[in-house]
Amino acid sequence: IAPGEPIPLGYMLVTSGENANLGLDALGGIEIALADRDHSLLGHPLELVGADSRCSSEGGEAAVQEILQTENLVGIIGPSCSSAAIEAIPVISEAGLIMISPSTTGPSLTNPDRYWQPGFFRTAHNDQYQGSLAAEFARIELGAKSAATIHDGSLYTDELQKVFGDIFEQLGGVITARTAIVEGETDMRALLEFIGESQPDVLYFPIFEPEGNHIAKQAADIPGLQNTILIGADGLLTATFAPQTGLSVVGMYLSGPYLEGPTYDNFLNKWEERFDDSPPSSFHAFAYDATDILLNVIQNTAQLLPDGTLIIGRQALRDAVANINSYEGISGSITCNQWGDCATGEALAMYRLIDEQVRGEFPPEAVWNKTIDSE
């Protein structure tokens, strides 16, 4: 990078459509990380270039081709969704680049026998943790003996319901139905009536908006589900889910990131100052950490020549991230393994939705994880 020229950093996030809050939440975290360094590094300005990866494989494919048009691109934060990551990972890996995702949680993304390829990392948790947490909560804390699941065919939802179902059964529970919808469906009644025939104690649907809204709303009218507890995942842990669904979500539980402490409080203050609002979803801190890690490894591995020219080795960046050990981030202590997983399952909890969430208060209160006492 020539003297005085900017260091281009890319992002691929969902910034439009029903799930835009997920990407805009992460983008805010990225922007705060850049602002904390006055938008400069090693005497060069930091330039942020982005592409909308949507929350689909098609979006991921289009976004990665768009972002690769950027000259001297150093690294990428993203994508938001596991389905987009499947398409982006091989292209980024082939290009020799590094990509750190703040919110893709599908277990197979960091499985070398499935989708993982060199250059891909994530600061978000692996859904082996999230699915297990929800299953333990349902079976042990709620005392549920039976559960049904719904996914939408996407990598994220399918793998998450599978982890939940497997752990729930290992804990002695019974899965009465493993079912699926198609993205874009709005009438869930026939499926819900089928599920309701077995009157499960819990209905687990790790679905995104708007399909998750339809399920939660329509389940309230199904006779066999009147006593069934609804449980969703981090895809519905957004500021819009409860207000747009209504009172049928009261008493529902959601799993998702759980952050606390003075470092996180300080971050939230910066968010409030910058955006005059609270974060709209739950992966902002993971996006901050992903960006900060990328900037740190650039700073530590780049060669700065006497004339101000900056030489950044792409393999050196990958190696440096792969060797991160006990980095203290906003989301907790981060250590990356050789397959790109950098987060533990510690920063996760179960949340309970109450009337205040329907009226727009966000986030809801965390009620249980391994360290929080259940209400």
Domain count across the chain = 2
Do 114 and 154 belong together in one domain? no
Tokens of 283: 């992966």
Model pLDDT for residues 31-85, shown as the tens digit of each residue: 999 999 999 999 999 999 999 999 999 999 999 999 999 999 999 999 999 999 9
**CATH assignment at residue 313:** 3.40.50.2300
Residue 26's pLDDT is 98
Question: Which bin fits 253, alpha (ψ -120 to 50), beta or left (φ > 0)?
Answer: beta
Residue 373's pLDDT is 56
Question: Looking at the whole model, is its pTM more than 0.85?
Answer: yes
Do 136 and 210 belong together in one domain? yes
Do 353 and 326 belong together in one domain? no
| Rounded CA Rg of the chain | 21
Do 115 and 148 belong together in one domain? no
Do 154 and 97 belong together in one domain? no
**For residue 263, is it within any domain?**
no
Do 51 and 100 belong together in one domain? yes
- For residue 280, the cross-strand partners are none
**For residue 297, is it within any domain?**
yes
Do 166 and 119 belong together in one domain? no
**For residue 295, is it within any domain?**
yes
Residue 374's pLDDT is 44
Give CA–CA dist 122/101, Å, rounded: 4
**For residue 63, is it within any domain?**
yes
Question: Which bin fits 81, alpha (ψ -120 to 50), beta or left (φ > 0)?
Answer: beta
Residue 207's pLDDT is 96
Rounded to a whole number, what is the largest CA-CA distance in the chain?
75
Q: Has residue 131 got a pLDDT over 80?
A: yes
Report the relative pairing of strands 365-368 and 348-352 from DSSP bridges. Answer: antiparallel
Q: Can you tell me the mean pLDDT for 330-339?
A: 95
Do 179 and 301 belong together in one domain? no
**For residue 373, is it within any domain?**
no
* Residues 201 and 140 sit within 8 Å (Cβ to Cβ): no
375 pLDDT tier (thresholds 50, 70, 90): very low
Do 210 and 356 belong together in one domain? yes
Q: Can you tell me the mean pLDDT for 6-31?
A: 97
Residue 372's pLDDT is 76
**For residue 339, is it within any domain?**
no
Model pLDDT for residues 195-249, shown as the tens digit of each residue: 999 999 999 999 999 999 999 999 999 999 999 999 999 999 999 999 999 999 9
**For residue 243, is it within any domain?**
yes
263 pLDDT tier (thresholds 50, 70, 90): very high
Do 104 and 23 belong together in one domain? yes
Do 193 and 304 belong together in one domain? no
**For residue 262, is it within any domain?**
no
Do 236 and 219 belong together in one domain? yes
Range of the domain at 158: 128-256+348-368
- 373 or 370: whose pLDDT is higher? 370
For tokens 């290992």, name the residue.
170
